[in-house]
Structure 1
């Protein structure tokens, strides 16, 4: 049993949208295929992965450092000692050979993308959905296939205006989402307030709005927004300041009593631990958005969940960034609080397998081997082309 090839293609997911910090006019991602010599149903098992939006493709780094390490390793060194399968933890250690501690930047995205493809292959070899495999190995044995999802959107579009924003948000509500999210910080506060109030007017009982500043604010601006946002009953106030400014986050808790969310731009267990130690996050109300595809993958995410447990946090407070099926599988298998979703943006990489509908803010994961990419026809066409 061995990995016989690893392939990467850098794919465009460009759009005219922008948040408070960046636009997406040149955005890319890496699509990866890990090809094995294991045969199931008459075909080689191939695992697939891709990185979340907002971080760009990592193909050159993968080809220069990470692919060669796997392909040059003794195949036996990558195998599970107990199961007839690959061992994602051994593969992860091989990927990280000769990498210094720290430096959790672009390499965490490259490794996280490969790690996703490895877990997809491992679950396919066992003939199980990844959520079932995770529940059996690391959870209570029984996955919860019904997962909360929220609709992320509300970017600043050229010429969209208030009416266009309302049409966008209403379309998410009409598709069954109970929580929608919009961007703030890319316009003056008064304009952002008008945009918030326009969305709030659409909401019915049981529906909520989250807002996301994408790390734009310094402390005085974050506090100014906190005072304004306190007039609304929001699902959360997300990433107000630089993600590594734990003092800002901690101070903001003194000015905003409602739920806050952050963590999507922390790329390691150590960074996540510093947030929990020093960021003033409150386990009774706040949300953690660590994204395995950006932070060294599921192997590292398991370490992060162990750290959270040690600090008194429930995995139910984790709602990962990224809107991809990998985090959906983790949420179902390990009991997370839900997952982000992009109903229209960053396609075909966002969304769910064909036929999966959102009902009252939840989706039910289908019984597909691996992560379930093959169930999303437009996405699987991209993956099949890479592997062929």
Structure 2
């Protein structure tokens, strides 16, 4: 059993939307295929992966560093103890040979993209949905029912409050009961008007989360906190720079409601520092670490160990990214749920065909691997790469 090729292509996921920090007009993503010598049901076993939105494609790093380290390794060194399957931890170690500690930047995205494809292949070789394989390995019961919320509310040319209200109404009509919108890309008074428009639209049918995408300095963060604490929000997300733990800790004094952050932290060491120094409150705050941006599931398991050591429940984790990999992790490892992009970043966002949101939850289909084969628009792009 061996990996015979790793292929990458950089694809555009451009859109005229923007948040408080970036616009997505030139956004790209890497799509990876890990080709094995195995077959199941007459098809070659190929694992697929891609990086989450908000970080650009990682083709250079994948092709110049990490791909060849796997392909040049002794194939037997990448297998589990009995040689019955690939070993994601050993493959991860091969990728990270000759890498200095620290520097958790773009390389964490490249490794996370390949890692996703490796786990997809492993679960397919085992002929299991990934969420069931993960639960089995952890000795826990998999729960195929996963909470999801609808992320949107971006700034868009010509988008007025009426369009924002219609967008949020469309999410409720599709079964969501938590929706999210962007703030920080307009003056506070304008954002307050936008928030009130959404709250008026959703009423008691749903809760609203707001996301500043790390835009605020302390003074602005406090000003927004004083405004936001008058509303029953689901959370106030990524208030300041992701590494400014002092700012995050200070916000607990000004904002009593739930806060969320972590999507732009790329290692278990970063996660540990956030929990040590960021003032996060385990009884109400949320953690948004995204495996596709942070060295993959192998590293995410280390992050969950950090949570255990510091007294946090993994139910406080609702990952960023809106992809099926995190859905499988949520179902298999008992996380609190997952982000969802009902209309954006297609074909990478969303669920397999036929999966519907009911009362803010989806039920995982019984598809081998991550389940990409169940999403027709996505698997067609993936198979083009693998062909």
- Give yes or no for the alignment of 1:50 onto 2:46: no
- Quick one: distance in 1 between partners of 2:139 and 2:252? 32
Indicate if the aligned counterparts of 2:168 and 2:202 stay in contact, CA closer than 8 A: no
Aligned to 2:377: 378
SS of 2:150's partner is: strand
What RMSD, in angstroms, separates the aligned Cα atoms of the two structures?
Answer: 0.7
Indicate if the aligned counterparts of 2:287 and 2:316 stay in contact, CA closer than 8 A: yes
Indicate if the aligned counterparts of 2:184 and 2:215 stay in contact, CA closer than 8 A: yes
- Quick one: distance in 1 between partners of 2:373 and 2:386? 13
SS of 1:328's partner is: helix
Deviates more, 1:323-332 or 1:204-213: 204-213
SS of 1:202's partner is: helix
- Give yes or no for the alignment of 1:127 onto 2:116: no
SS of 2:289's partner is: coil
SS of 1:46's partner is: strand
- Quick one: distance in 2 between partners of 1:139 and 1:185? 43
- Quick one: distance in 1 between partners of 2:91 and 2:201? 48
TM-score between the two structures when normalised by the length of structure 2: 0.99
Shift of 1:204: 3.7
Aligned to 1:164: 163
Matches within 5 A, 1:222-241: 222-241=221-240
Indicate if the aligned counterparts of 1:139 and 1:334 stay in contact, CA closer than 8 A: no
Shift of 1:83: 5.5
Aligned to 1:261: 260
SS of 2:4's partner is: strand
Aligned to 2:292: 293
- Quick one: distance in 2 between partners of 1:383 and 1:204? 40
Aligned to 1:307: 306
Structure 1 spans left out of the alignment, 5+ residues: none
Matches within 5 A, 1:1-388: 1-82=1-82, 84-140=84-140, 142-388=141-387
Q: Deviations over 1:337-371 (max 9, x none)?
A: 00000000000000000000000100001000000
Structure 2 spans left out of the alignment, 5+ residues: none
Indicate if the aligned counterparts of 2:129 and 2:370 stay in contact, CA closer than 8 A: yes
Note closer, same or farther for the CA distance 1:267–1:139 as it changes in structure 2 (3 Å cut): farther
Off by >3 Å, runs of 4+ in structure 1: none
SS of 1:350's partner is: coil
Shift of 1:43: 1.8
TM-score between the two structures when normalised by the length of structure 1: 0.99
Indicate if the aligned counterparts of 1:139 and 1:333 stay in contact, CA closer than 8 A: no
SS of 2:84's partner is: coil
Q: Deviations over 1:30-50 (max 9, x none)?
A: 000000001111121000000
Q: Deviations over 1:140-192 (max 9, x none)?
A: 1x210000000000000000110010111111111000000000000000000
- Quick one: distance in 2 between partners of 1:44 and 1:201? 52
Shift of 1:137: 0.4
SS of 2:68's partner is: helix
SS of 1:201's partner is: helix
Indicate if the aligned counterparts of 1:154 and 1:169 stay in contact, CA closer than 8 A: yes
Q: Deviations over 1:1-42 (max 9, x none)?
A: 000000001000000000000000000000000000011111
Shift of 1:206: 4.8
